[in-house]
């Protein structure tokens, strides 16, 4: 039954030789890898204005110069990642670049920062999308929908998780339409808005309740401007995604990935600057009374509240929800790189039935769902944790590229090193500002979690190193030939499921087999003794006393006695196990066999299960 449900939700398995068919073309890849970055257009301008409004209406005029500075940073970081794609066509992004050029520790810091940011991307994006959905429902007369925000967010995470488990190609097709609908809606706002402003003049935004903005607020200091710049740098979140997923592209991978990155950067800069220009021209500002978004204010002013406005709002809500898909594309891939390098369990490097890294997808869905529950789907409460991780990885990645240019000195290395160095300097400044301004509001959790993850990675890697050393054939000698087997059959009674195990034991140790039973009920034990004479197959029965009703301890003590008695023998413990025909029937039986096998294998005992399948 479980297999049938899995096939319905996930689909039929895909053969490994068809892996190349699951790769993405540039159009689909743009939707898969850029939804996070492009969705930032819906809130990056508002983030700048939210800080500038503290300086009064005079400070609002700085939004466009700040947006231009952020756009320049976008171009610099984007160009840097184009270099990364061509330098590291196998993918891996910040982690691979940093580890290759700066060492293991900086590489693990970059990986930790990105993994945290991917989890936050899913939680924040889904919560923001749900907020847009509930706001639209409230405007349509259904305010009670807000009470189910957490449940709706969890449902969205489940849907996106299942869609990604179906494979990169299918998830790309599913998410392409909403992504391109959002691009079309934002570009239509810009084209129509700018045309109307040039032809008919600018119409300022009208509010149902005017926002409370003083002419002069805080002192217009450099610190306020830097805070606004750092807030607007949320526009950069997600631009590293394509460099992480180069191997998801069709051949030639690096060329297609770099072209797609160029498209994404061009669209992002155009849409971000266009929305900021319109916000400045139409005097759109954050409204603490109506909580209407900047994009909504501009769209309402340009198109009214007709079908076009509704389409734009729905497209914005969908892109915010689907922005999580970028994290689902990159978190599992980054986890697979870490697993390949033995910093995460090897299961993360294995592809599932649909040729995706299923374990990484499931873990991302689980942790993002936990965040949604903890923060009650409140994206505002999670925002202070956001962006610290991505700017940490930006800084380390570009610093790594500088080190690479200085080491290899390939043609044009001086210009490339200057660009990467300038980008690393700017992103490090933004990182410091983010850490200072958001530390007490929650960024401290990310700052503390990164070293915890690094220590966990190192601990896992140390375990794998120790295992490799102990399994190495270097200096190994061929073990002596086995003298004979001693078989111990553990029984809980006598029935049809026990008989094959007894015969199996006699086949491997014809002259040294013992059946062992733990006495937990004297009456049941007496019945067993009587029946054993007829059904014991001539094998001696040993009954172990257990006055404290312990099952495992008497067995372990008996095995130790046998090991002492037959020091040269291989002791094999045989467990008869009947297998119910239906999955739910397993729940009706205790799982003592699992406990016994675990306890014995931890002490190095050979354990063999002999199954007896029920009809």
Can you spell out the DSSP letters for 158-170? Answer: HHHHHHHHT-HHH
Provide the H-helix boundaries in 53-167: 63-87, 93-102, 104-139, 149-165
What three-state secondary structure class fits 134? Answer: helix
H/E run at residue 155: helix 149-165
Classified by CATH at the fold level, domain 485-613 comes out as: Rossmann fold (3.40.50)
Q: Which of 198, 202, 205 is nearest to 284 (CA)?
A: 205
H, E, C per residue of 268-281: HHHHHHHHHHHHHH
Q: What is the pLDDT of residue 33?
A: 81
Q: Which of 213, 354, 265, 294 is nearest to 78 (CA)?
A: 265
Cβ-based burial of 615 (10 A; exposed 0-12, middle 13-18, buried ≥19): exposed
H/E run at residue 611: strand 606-613
Cα–Cα distance, 227 to 455 (Å, whole number): 32
Note the CATH architecture for domain 15-465.
Up-down Bundle (1.20)
What three-state secondary structure class fits 575? Answer: strand
Cβ-based burial of 474 (10 A; exposed 0-12, middle 13-18, buried ≥19): exposed
CA triplet 323, 328, 332: central angle to 5 degrees? 155
What three-state secondary structure class fits 574? Answer: strand
Q: What is the pLDDT of residue 409?
A: 86
Annotated domain spans of the chain: 15-465, 485-613
Q: What is the pLDDT of residue 380?
A: 66
Q: What is the pLDDT of residue 228?
A: 85
Pairing mode, if any, of strands 570-579 and 541-545?
unpaired
In the chain, which residues have pLDDT < 50? 1-2, 6, 14-21
CA triplet 313, 370, 431: central angle to 5 degrees? 70
The answer to whether 559 touches 600, Cβ cutoff 8 Å, is: yes
Q: What is the pLDDT of residue 452?
A: 95
Residue 220 has phi, psi (to 5 degrees) of: -75, 80
E strands, 383-536, are 485-490, 513-519
Q: What is the pLDDT of residue 319?
A: 85
pLDDT tens readout for residues 498-538? 899 999 999 988 888 999 999 888 888 888 888 998 888 88
Render the burial of 560-588: b for 16+ CB within 10 Å, e for the rest: eebeeeeeebebbbbbbbeeeeeeeeeee
Cα–Cα distance, 70 to 76 (Å, whole number): 10
Q: What is the pLDDT of residue 68?
A: 94
Q: What is the pLDDT of residue 206?
A: 77
Residue 351 has phi, psi (to 5 degrees) of: -85, 145
Can you spell out the DSSP letters for 454-476? Answer: HHHHHHHHHHHHHHHHHH--TT-
Residue 569 has phi, psi (to 5 degrees) of: -80, 155
Residue 387 DSSP label: S
Q: What is the pLDDT of residue 291?
A: 67
């Amino acid at each position: 039954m479980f297999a049938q449900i899995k096939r319905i939700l996930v689909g039929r398995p895909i053969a490994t030789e068809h892996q190349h068919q699951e790769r993405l073309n540039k159009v689909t890849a743009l939707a898969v890898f850029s939804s996070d970055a492009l969705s930032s257009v819906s809130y990056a301008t508002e983030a700048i204005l939210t800080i500038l409004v503290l300086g009064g209406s005079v400070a609002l005029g700085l939004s466009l110069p700040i947006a231009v500075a952020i756009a320049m940073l976008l171009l610099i970081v984007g160009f840097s990642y184009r270099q990364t794609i061509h330098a590291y066509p196998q993918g891996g992004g910040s982690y691979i670049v940093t580890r290759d050029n700066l060492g293991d520790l900086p590489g693990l810091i970059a990986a930790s920062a990105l993994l945290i940011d991917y989890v936050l991307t899913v939680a924040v994006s889904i919560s923001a999308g749900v907020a847009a959905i509930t706001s639209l429902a409230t405007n349509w007369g259904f305010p009670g929908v807000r009470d189910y925000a957490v449940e709706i967010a969890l449902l969205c995470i489940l849907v996106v998780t299942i869609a990604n488990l179906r494979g990169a190609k299918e998830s790309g097709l599913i998410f392409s339409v909403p992504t391109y609908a959002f691009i079309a809606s934002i570009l239509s706002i810009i084209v129509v808005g700018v045309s109307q402003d040039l032809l008919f003049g600018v119409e300022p935004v009208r509010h149902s309740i005017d926002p409370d903005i003083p002419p002069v607020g805080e002192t217009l200091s450099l610190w306020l401007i830097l805070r606004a710049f750092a807030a607007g740098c949320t526009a950069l979140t997600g631009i590293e995604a394509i460099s992480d997923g180069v191997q998801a592209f069709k051949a030639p991978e690096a060329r297609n990935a770099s072209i797609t990155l160029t498209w994404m950067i061009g669209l992002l800069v155009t849409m971000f600057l266009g929305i900021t220009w319109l916000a400045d021209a139409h005097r759109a500002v954050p409204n603490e009374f109506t909580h209407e978004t900047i994009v909504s204010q501009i769209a309402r002013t340009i198109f009214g509240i007709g079908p076009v406005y509704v389409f734009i709002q729905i497209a914005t809500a969908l892109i915010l929800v689907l922005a999580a898909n970028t994290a689902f594309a990159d978190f599992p891939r980054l986890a697979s790189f870490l697993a390949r390098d033995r910093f995460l369990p090897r299961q993360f490097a294995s592809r599932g039935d649909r040729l995706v890294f299923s374990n990484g997808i499931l873990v991302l869905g689980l942790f993002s769902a936990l965040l949604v529950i903890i923060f009650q789907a409140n994206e505002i409460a999670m925002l202070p944790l956001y962006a610290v991780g991505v700017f940490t990885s930006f800084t380390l990645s570009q610093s790594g590229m500088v080190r690479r240019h200085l080491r290899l000195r390939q043609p044009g290395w001086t210009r490339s090193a200057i660009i990467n160095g300038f980008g690393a300097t700017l992103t490090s400044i933004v990182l410091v500002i983010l850490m200072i301004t958001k530390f007490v509001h929650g960024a401290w959790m990310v700052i503390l979690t990164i070293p915890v993850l690094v220590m966990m990675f190192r601990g896992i890697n140390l375990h794998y190193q120790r295992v490799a050393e102990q399994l190495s054939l270097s200096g190994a000698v061929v073990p002596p030939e086995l003298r004979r087997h001693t078989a111990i059959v553990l029984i809980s009674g006598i029935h049809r499921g026990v008989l094959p195990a007894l015969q199996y034991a006699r086949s491997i140790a014809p002259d040294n087999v013992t059946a062992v039973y733990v006495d937990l009920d004297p009456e049941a034990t007496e019945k067993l003794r009587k029946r054993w004479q007829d059904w014991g197959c001539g094998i001696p029965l040993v009954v172990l006393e257990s006055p404290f009703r312990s099952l495992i301890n008497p067995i372990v003590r008996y095995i130790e006695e046998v090991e002492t008695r037959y020091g040269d023998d291989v002791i094999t413990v045989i467990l008869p196990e009947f297998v119910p025909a239906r999955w739910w029937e397993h729940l009706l039986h205790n799982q003592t066999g699992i406990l016994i096998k675990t306890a014995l294998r931890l002490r190095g005992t050979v354990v063999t299960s002999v199954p007896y399948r029920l009809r």
